[in-house]
Chain A
């Protein structure tokens, strides 16, 4: 029996056929559009872009830009994650702090990213702006998931903590924090995509040396259609790779959560069937 409510995976042959059909439609449509437009600097064909990718891919500057962008944005993601979780923990433990700080986090969540970049351009070095912007985008995501998780755990286990007189510290380390794993996995998946998109956009606006966003901006400025497409494809591929890496990292958490959800209210008979 497959997982309850899960989608059936299509057969291997069917998946390969679907992938081939997707590639055919994608590249066919792209080539047809390029031929119809007839201007390589606006819509270059896939062959031109492929040739340019091979050229750029052999330069040290391309890989340096990719590595530095990854480092900056990942640093922002990590800072936002740690700050968001710590803030949630502090606010969960101190209701008055929550009353005071919650509106600030909500403001962070609703402020357009470009406003942060423009303000930060006045105050900070362009090399750190993508990191700061990614952190500011990720912080509210982790804060929201963490504080909702902490609220849910403290409500669910309030009777246990009270009857068995479990200290606040022990309840935090043994009950509340472990119960956050599923929430944090979900936050990480949302946050990583957000960090990547906001970080690259911040690079386009802040133009730090050796950055994917700077490459995008320069390609656009010089009307280098193939370069723009190569950078864009690099952004998409890196985003997919990061997402896959993160899913692999959080797999254990997600499985544990699914297991817990499946375990709730099961009969012995249902469990033994699994």
Chain B
């Protein structure tokens, strides 16, 4: 997956200009950088949720999975139903939720879960989708170190060799990834 000399602005706000970023074709890659430097925008461009003003988005697999910046879960539905929404069987959904420390909470409505539990449901949903690449925006947000480690372990085990790009502010998460790409304030990866 590659962003090739991409420009992106929202109105008069330029997020980046001439950004080139190539995600390794396998393994878990961390995308780090200061707040507001465009990490989420880069992820959304790769996912096809945003269109670049200039430049190209290349070699993006057909089927992507994503953890969004906001959870975007269905608050009225159970944790299980949220994971099943993307086509997972009930057994697979339950197994993923259990792996992420949510055993016994599968049938609770998402609205009644804590912020960290909701984040893990969002991760379970992303991992349940049969994708060729995973784009995870702060998947360990609101999680303690133990839960974050469980999330990273589940990501590695379920990605099955597919490329994973994780946006993170957590140095521990970045350190646990296979490689790190830094988006700087100069809007270019270093």
Contact = CB atoms under 8 A, between A and B. Distances in A.
B66 A163 contact: yes
- Determine the interface band of chain B, counting residues with CB < 8 A from chain A: 20 to 34
A260 B111 CA distance: 5
Contact of A266 (B74, B76, B115): B115
B86 A268 contact: no
Contacts of B76: 178-179, 181, 256, 260
Contact of B114 (A163, A164, A256, A272): A272
Contacts of B110: 263
B61 interface: no
A268 B49 contact: no
Contacts of A205: none
Contact of A268 (B74, B114, B129): B114
A114 interface: no
A36 B142 CA distance: 70
A266 B68 contact: no
B65 A160 contact: no
Contacts of A2: none
A271 B115 contact: yes
A159 B113 CA distance: 22
Nearest to A153: B74
Contact of B47 (A163, A170, A268): A163
A149 B47 CA distance: 26
A82 interface: no
Interface string A233-274: 000000000000000000000001001101111111001100
Interface of A: 156-157, 159-160, 162-166, 170, 174-175, 178-179, 181, 256, 259-260, 262-268, 271-272
What 5 pairs between A and B have smallest CB-CB spacing? Answer: A260-B75, A271-B114, A263-B111, A268-B114, A164-B86
Given A160-B72, A164-B125, A260-B75, 7 more contacts: A159-B66, A159-B68, A163-B49, A164-B129, A178-B77, A259-B109, A263-B118
11 contacts: A157-B72, A157-B74, A159-B72, A163-B66, A178-B74, A259-B75, A260-B75, A263-B113, A266-B114, A267-B115, A268-B142
